[in-house]
Amino acid sequence: MGKTTRLTVSLDATVYEWVTRAAAAQGRSVSAVINDAVRRDLVRDSLAHMPIVPEDDALTTTAAAAEEARLAAAEQARLAAGEQARLALGERG
């Protein structure tokens, strides 16, 4: 852990019980458990408020790639069907 700052906080009795039990179960200090909980909550909160830019959205990118692959396959099938039709007409003629 880097630089630390001492801070006094008041916890309600239930939260204090949860923290002390979690610390004991994990073999960690109460301070470490509280620090981790605060970090997780702040990160989750900040991530929840971050806008999703469609260009950066992995699902959008994956969907676009799948659509491109589908269109390419359809074009290949169309070209192959046209070639087969030309061959069939050539064989008849």
Q: What DSSP line would sit under 26-42, residue for residue?
A: HT--HHHHHHHHHHHHH
Residue 1 has pLDDT above 70, yes or no: no
pLDDT category, 2, cuts 50, 70, 90? Answer: confident
85-91: average pLDDT: 72
Q: Mean pLDDT score of the chain, rounded to an integer?
A: 82
**Residue ranges of domains in the chain:** 1-50, 52-93
Residue 19 has pLDDT above 70, yes or no: yes
DSSP label at 49?
Answer: T
42-47: average pLDDT: 81
43-57: average pLDDT: 72
The answer to whether domain 1-50 has CATH 1.10.1220 is yes
